[in-house]
Amino acid sequence: MNRIDRLTAILLLLQSGKRSDSEIAQHFEVSRRTIQRDIDALCEMGIPIVAELGTSGGYSLPSDYSSRRNEL
């Protein structure tokens, strides 16, 4: 899978709920660092990804993200 496809797939995965970088990395069979770079790239593109620290932390999208995207 190339990076553009993975970025799109990560976005779709986050639309279904919060995910840790480890969980996302395992899903795409890449390193956690690769996922962290991908998340950074999505943020630079203006995607409002929320990062929560701690044992129950992870990445997610705001609950109103899909409705705001449809307004564009």
Is it the case that residue 2 has pLDDT exceeding 80? yes
Burial of 55 from C-beta contacts in 10 A (0-12 / 13-18 / 19+): exposed
* CA terminus-to-terminus distance, the chain: 28
Task: Please provide the average confidence, as pLDDT, over all residues in the chain.
Answer: 90
Count of structural domains, the chain? 1
Q: Which domain holds residue 62?
A: 3-71
CATH number at residue 61: 1.10.10.10
- Per-residue pLDDT band for 14 (boundaries 50, 70, 90) equals very high
Alpha-carbon distance of 1 to 69, in angstroms, equals: 25
Whether 29 shows a pLDDT value over 80: the answer reads yes
Q: What is the pLDDT of residue 67?
A: 47
Q: Locate 27 and state its tokens.
A: 């899903």
Mean pLDDT in residue range 16-44: 97
| pLDDT tens readout for residues 48-64 | 999 999 888 999 999 88
| Residue 41 CB partners (closer than 8 Å, separation 6+) | 3, 7
